[in-house]
């Protein structure tokens, strides 16, 4: 079996029969600690809550980059038992391994929310930790309500808001190949089911296009808005037939390789990008450019920079706020027959990483405050560089931001990623001579932004209005800090 043995986690001989041995090669030891979050309801002042919290939730940790849920193998500690920092509390089984999970805090295991043998999604509360013995009872009552409330807490993608436009929810006719005898149940292939779970797609909502109307992996990938991954198996090479001959003629048309040139096969990421780019050709796009005065923004940036705010966060926040006023630019058209307004404004930001390109997503960019957004962004970039982004952290974008300003590029044109309504290309902000309406010249920092949009759903006036709003926000950036 092919194995990534980057971590030499268990180079020691595992002779202790009671130890939980990990065979997960991709798990790094640093991930082995419990994630804690305070259970005190978040108030408007988020800083105060960490101080007051005495009862902490123990969360299902992400033990591997592909882990979406974990199973509790066993609780090492029982309810009411005292815990010391660094002690193992619970054994969790991920998709790859059984791992001991340790506590970061001293305290008491007040309540077990998820019992042995049960599964919980990554990030869900599996137990409660009380700081003092006195709080155990309080925690227990909390646990009783927790088990139900945590379910509610789970982010369930809400359906797009129904607009006044004619309902697009007309059931598509079933594929003709299927013999329609009564209500048919959903048939999905094993890999399709796996992908749906991984990408949190409701398999019941997908129309199958495979043989006999079954849902295949590519149906799920389409529904999840991601490029079909490179098929892991090249199809059996076809026997030499006229069909194959056609394929070979196209290849022979290619100019021969120059001497000394080398062929480098695509990596998975490059294949995905390539596939996406080809797919983008089927979308009719147009572009609208707009100059934006950034003097006020630059001044604001200088002020908030020491607090850890990045330019990316500022731009994402501004775009998010503008999108909130122009939902059509945040919409997406997936099948060419209808379009959906996205409930969340998720700004994907293009990042060049070693040998590739990835778009970590700032979710709810319009709602989060600038500081949180900046913090989130740093976290995402870190994950992107270490290739630990979860799928929802790079494929849930509804609008993309691409900034090449730092290279001195003054304007450029971006390709619209499939499944999104628009992408914004941001150039450098440069001192520019401008004339105002009274004819006075002045030098102002000006940045050119250029938005590429899907003309099936976004029209010129929509985009122009959006850009105007965006420019206003940038030119009067006080609203960004609210």
Partner 1 sequence: MALSFSQTSFTRPNHVLGSTGSVFSTPRSLRFCGLRREAFGFSPSNQLALRSDRIRIPSRKSFQVFASASSNGNGAPPKSFDYDLIIIGAGVGGHGAALHAVEKGLKTAIIEGDVVGGTCVNRGCVPSKALLAVSGRMRELQNEHHMKSFGLQVSAAGYDRQGVADHANNLATKIRNNLTNSMKALGVDILTGFGSVLGPQKVKYGKDNIITAKDIIIATGSVPFVPKGIEVDGKTVITSDHALKLESVPDWIAIVGSGYIGLEFSDVYTALGSEVTFIEALDQLMPGFDPEISKLAQRVLINPRKIDYHTGVFASKITPAKDGKPVLIELIDAKTKEPKDTLEVDAALIATGRAPFTNGLGLENVNVVTQRGFIPVDERMRVIDGNGTLVPNLYCIGDANGKLMLAHAASAQGISVVEQVSGRDHVLNHLSIPAACFTHPEISMVGLTEPQAKEKGEKEGFKVSVVKTSFKANTKALAENEGEGIAKMIYRPDNGEILGVHIFGLHAADLIHEASNAIALGTRIQDIKLAVHAHPTLSEVLDELFKAAKVESHATTRTVSEKVVV
Q: Which is nearer to partner 1, 191 or 459 (CB)?
A: 191
In angstroms, what is the minimal distance from the CB of 5 to partner 1? 4
**CA pair distance 435, 364, nearest whole angstrom:** 37
In angstroms, what is the minimal distance from the CB of 233 to partner 1? 3
In angstroms, what is the minimal distance from the CB of 115 to partner 1? 19
Q: Which is nearer to partner 1, 11 or 148 (CB)?
A: 11
Q: How far is CA 41 from CA 49, 56, 364, 430, in A?
A: 8, 12, 20, 45
In angstroms, what is the minimal distance from the CB of 98 to partner 1? 9
**DSSP tag of 369:** -
Q: Which is nearer to partner 1, 169 or 233 (CB)?
A: 233
In angstroms, what is the minimal distance from the CB of 382 to partner 1? 21
Q: Which is nearer to partner 1, 13 or 78 (CB)?
A: 13
* Contact in structure between 341 and 163 (CB atoms under 8 Å): yes
What's the start-to-end Cα distance of the chain, in Å?
53
Q: Which is nearer to partner 1, 305 or 385 (CB)?
A: 385
227 contacts: CB under 8 Å, gap ≥ 6:
221, 272, 275, 276, 279, 418
Closest CA to 186 of 169, 168, 202, 170: 202
Catalytic pick from 45, 199, 392, 455?
Answer: 455
Strand spans (E) along 308-375 = 347-349, 351-353, 356-358, 361-362
Q: Which is nearer to partner 1, 267 or 479 (CB)?
A: 267
In the chain, count of helices (H) and strands (E)?
Answer: 10, 17
**CA pair distance 198, 392, nearest whole angstrom:** 9
Footprint on this chain of partner 1 (rule: CB under 8 A): 1-6, 8-15, 17, 21, 23, 25, 95-97, 177, 179, 185, 187, 189-191, 193-194, 210-212, 214, 217, 230-237, 263-265, 267-268
Q: Which is nearer to partner 1, 6 or 50 (CB)?
A: 6
Helix ranges, 287-342 (H): 295-304, 311-325
Q: How far is CA 138 from CA 35, 103, 134, 144, 226, in A?
A: 21, 20, 8, 10, 45
Question: Can you read off the two tokens belonging to residue 205?
Answer: 């909502």
Annotated catalytic residue 45 = no
Q: How far is CA 218 from CA 104, 187, 205, 295, in A?
A: 42, 14, 14, 47
In angstroms, what is the minimal distance from the CB of 69 to partner 1? 12
- Helix axes 460-475 and 311-325, enclosed angle (nearest 10): 130
In angstroms, what is the minimal distance from the CB of 381 to partner 1? 23
* Contact in structure between 188 and 204 (CB atoms under 8 Å): no
The torsion angles phi and psi of 356, rounded to 5 degrees, stand at -175, -170
Classify the phi-psi angles of 434: left when phi > 0, otherwise alpha if psi is within -120 to 50, otherwise beta. beta
Catalytic residues: 455
């Amino acid at each position: 079996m092919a194995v990534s043995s980057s971590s030499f986690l268990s180079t020691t001989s595992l002779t202790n029969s009671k130890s939980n041995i990990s065979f997960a090669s991709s798990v790094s030891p640093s991930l082995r600690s419990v994630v804690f979050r305070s259970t005190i309801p978040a108030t408007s002042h988020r800083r105060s809550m960490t101080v007051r919290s005495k009862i902490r939730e123990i969360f299902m940790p992400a033990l591997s980059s592909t882990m979406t849920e974990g199973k509790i193998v066993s609780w090492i500690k029982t309810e009411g038992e005292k815990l010391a920092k660094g002690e193992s509390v619970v054994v969790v089984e991920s998709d790859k391994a059984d791992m001991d999970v340790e506590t970061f805090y001293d305290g008491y295991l007040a309540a077990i929310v998820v019992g042995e043998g049960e599964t919980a999604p990554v990030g869900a509360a599996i137990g409660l930790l009380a700081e003092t013995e006195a709080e155990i009872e309080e925690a227990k009552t909390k646990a009783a309500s927790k088990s139900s409330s945590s379910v509610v807490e789970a982010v369930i993608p809400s359906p797009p808001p129904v607009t006044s436009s004619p309902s697009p929810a007309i059931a598509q006719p079933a594929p003709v190949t299927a013999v329609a005898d009564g209500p048919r149940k959903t048939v999905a292939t094993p890999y399709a089911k796996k992908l749906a779970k991984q990408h949190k797609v409701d398999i019941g909502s997908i129309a199958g296009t495979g043989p006999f109307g079954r849902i295949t992996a590519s149906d799920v990938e389409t529904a999840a808005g991601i490029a079909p991954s490179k098929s892991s198996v090249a199809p059996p090479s076809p026997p030499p037939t006229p069909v194959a001959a056609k394929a070979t003629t196209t290849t022979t048309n290619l100019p021969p390789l120059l001497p000394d040139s080398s062929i480098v096969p695509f990596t998975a990421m490059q294949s995905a990008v390539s596939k996406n780019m080809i797919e983008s050709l089927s979308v009719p796009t147009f572009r609208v450019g707009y100059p934006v005065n950034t003097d006020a923004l630059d001044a604001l940036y200088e002020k908030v920079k020491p607090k850890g705010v990045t330019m990316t966060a500022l731009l994402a926040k501004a775009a998010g706020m503008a999108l909130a006023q122009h939902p059509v630019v945040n919409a997406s058209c997936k099948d060419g027959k209808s379009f959906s307004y996205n409930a969340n404004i998720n700004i994907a930001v293009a990042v060049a990483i070693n040998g590739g390109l990835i778009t970590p997503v700032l979710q709810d960019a319009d709602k989060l405050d600038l500081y949180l957004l900046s913090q989130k962004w740093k976290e995402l970039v870190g994950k992107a560089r270490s290739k630990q982004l979860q799928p929802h952290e790079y494929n849930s974008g509804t609008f993309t931001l691409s900034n090449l300003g730092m290279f001195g590029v003054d304007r450029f044109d971006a390709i619209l990623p499939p499944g999104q309504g628009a992408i914004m290309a941001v150039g450098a902000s440069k001192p520019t001579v401008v004339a105002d309406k009274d004819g006075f010249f002045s030098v102002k920092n000006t940045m050119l932004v250029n938005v590429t949009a899907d003309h099936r759903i976004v029209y010129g006036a929509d985009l122009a209005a959006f850009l105007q709003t965006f420019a206003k926000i940038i030119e009067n950036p006080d609203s960004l800090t609210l």
